[in-house]
Amino acid sequence: MTRHARRGTKYQTDEPNHRASRGTMRRWVIGMLFAVIALLPSVGTAIVIPWPDGMSTAQVAAIAVDPTTPSTLYAGTTDGIFKSTNGGGSWQTVNTGLTNLGVNALVLDPAIPTTLYAGTNGGGIFKSTDGGGSWRAVNTGLTYLFVYALALDPTSPNELYVGMYCGCGNLAPYIGIFKSTDGGENWQAVNNGLATLEVFAFAIDPTTPTTLYAGSNGSVVGIGGVFKSTNGGGSWQTASSGLPVAEAVIALAIDPITPTTLYAGTLSGGVFKSRNGGGNWQAVNTGLTNFSSGVYALALDPTNPTTLYAGTQGGGVFRSTDGGGHWQVVPGLADLNVNALALDTTTPITLYAGTWGSGVFRSVVGTSSVIRTSVGVFRLADAAFYLDANGSGAWNGCGIDKCINWGGDPADKVVLGDWNNDGRTKIGIYRNGTWYLDRNGNGTFDGCPAECIAWGGMPEDIPVVGDWNHTGSTKIGIYRNGTWYLDRNGNGTFDGCGTDACISWGGDPTDQPKVGDWNGSGSTKIGIYRNGTWYLDTNGNGAWDGCGSDACFSWGGDPTDQPKVGDWNGSGSTKIGVYRGSTGTWYLDTNGNGAWDGCAIDRCLEFGSSEDVPIVGKW
């Protein structure tokens, strides 16, 4: 492939003012190949298995993974759309009604993943509502039909954006960006402020989806880079400071946890990173070889967004685990042109790579996904814990989820922790100054002294637990009238404030002590929930430094709210939430911004009842 041949040159066309020689940024080079799917081991050479179904001319431009059933995949190719229901083990064509088989882009509705949209090379947009079983064109309002990029608002899936490309300069109003607010049935141009109308990539802020970014081509009109809209495409401003002048941006990725962090894949400059919403960009190419021919695909692990992947032309796939600071090649794809990447973040984490000339490859890139915090309840009347073991947010019975009988005395207070440092939360009870802990996690009390600790005992004591010394295991502590007494060394004995920890924080009669790793450093910090306001020792120095240095959030406030904290999205830092006993509903700050963004972005769960004690853990 030449320097400008992303996925080959364009098809010959009878469109006015359109010539194949001007389409050097497009995907389409006609040629024969034997497409393969390969399982990439962690080291060594890929094991290549021929594709079924005679996909002898398949050249892959897009991959989509069903988020609810990740063994279901879709591949957009020069021969239309292929579907697999077994993780790529076998494929079948799903082209009924797809009158243009050159597919450049695929997106699916995350809420109803049987609804898909396909962007084609001259046929516009096609829509399927039956998992690819049939397709129909949805082009009303489009003035040009060569589609390069598609994006869907994750909170309002009927809102879509399409980016056009022709390789023939600005042809307003024929190309550029079009928007639909009714699931693709009607489109209108949204190009106000765009200096170039050839658009290759989108990224939508998942927390504020009216903020979006477009990657554009600069080779034709001399102005490329990234454009930003903060009003749903109503107007655009350049957001390219630090990017090379006239550089084409052909891939974008956004950090779902910190959406002001973005990555841009470019035609010749490698990968660039912005930490301030496109305000400025810096190259992040250490270890990224073979990037001068283009980085055409980026994929970011949403559960651990400092891990990302870059698909290059002629260099295969590279992986970074430090937010682009350093890159290493993923074995098995050397010298291949990688045009599409998609991640399945269930266990094990699987990366799919679509190539131009060698089909699709599959690589297991993680032995397990990041464990997120799940919910549960303790029901005193049953003396039982009911735990959402599969993390679905719904009660699936004791066979799928988990039921444990433990405790039952009216004086019991639930305590939970990773007592043996194996990465999982175990149960326990604090009763009148004695801790009864399921240290080995078998759900059975195995007797004292192995599973008993005497610590506390004053009527006003509130038990607290945390990894006070950053060793990985949970230690105990007591909150007493505004003072924290923490077993910092974990020996189960109070050794005085010099060896263990004594911290003054809180003291209002309404204060409820809460602990968490607020900044993701690996050690537990303290905090207080007071009548709907959270005061968190974000920097962990044990002193209140005000809302500017530490954190203050308004979240909750209903008289029945019980504050709960957890790593709801698996990013490594603790976020806030409440359990509202009046309705048995959990309201969780999933993205960690300290603001309630609604159930579509944050999370609402129905789990428990008014008499239950809400609990959280990594079961």
> Among 96, 62, 100, which Cα is nearest to 79's?
100
Question: What is the number of other CB atoms lying within 10 angstroms of the CB of residue 154?
Answer: 18
Which residues are CB-contacts of 14 (< 8 A; sequence separation ≥ 6)?
none
The CA distance from 619 to 607, in Å, is: 15
Q: What is the largest CA-CA distance in the chain?
A: 86
Q: What pLDDT shows up at residue 52?
A: 38
Copy the structure tokens of residue 207. 């927390």
- Judge whether 194 and 175 are in contact, CB under 8 Å: no
Question: What is the number of other CB atoms lying within 10 angstroms of the CB of residue 32?
Answer: 7
List C-alpha distances in Å: 502 to 193, 220, 302, 458, 498: 58, 66, 38, 16, 8
Helix (H) or strand (E) holding 217: none
The CA distance from 7 to 531, in Å, is: 58
Which residues are CB-contacts of 399 (< 8 A; sequence separation ≥ 6)?
none
The CA distance from 389 to 522, in Å, is: 23
Q: What pLDDT shows up at residue 619?
A: 78
**Distance from chain centroid for Cα 159:** 20
- Judge whether 290 and 312 are in contact, CB under 8 Å: yes
72 φ/ψ angles, rounded to the nearest 5 degrees: -95, 120
Q: What pLDDT shows up at residue 31?
A: 26
Q: Which CATH class is domain 20-366?
A: mainly beta
Q: ∠130-302-592 over CA atoms, to 5°?
A: 115
List C-alpha distances in Å: 445 to 284, 404, 474: 52, 11, 18
The CA distance from 98 to 172, in Å, is: 27
Collapsing DSSP to helix, strand or coil, 496 comes out as helix
Q: What pLDDT shows up at residue 22?
A: 27
Q: What pLDDT shows up at residue 571?
A: 73
382 φ/ψ angles, rounded to the nearest 5 degrees: -95, -5
Ranges in the chain, pLDDT < 50:
1-57, 367-370
Global confidence as pTM: 0.58
Instruction: Domain 374-617: give its CATH architecture.
Output: 5 Propeller (2.115)
What amino acid occupies position 432?
N
- Judge whether 127 and 121 are in contact, CB under 8 Å: no
Residue range(s) of every CATH 2.130.10.10 domain in the chain:
20-366
Q: What pLDDT shows up at residue 570?
A: 72
Residue range(s) of every CATH 2.115.10.10 domain in the chain:
374-617
Q: Residue 205 half-sphere exposure, CB side, CA atoms within 13 Å?
A: 21
Helix (H) or strand (E) holding 126: strand 125-128
Q: What pLDDT shows up at residue 34?
A: 26
> Among 254, 255, 281, 257, which Cα is nearest to 270's?
281
Q: How many residues does the chain have?
A: 619
Strand intervals (E) in 416-459: 428-431, 434-437, 452-454
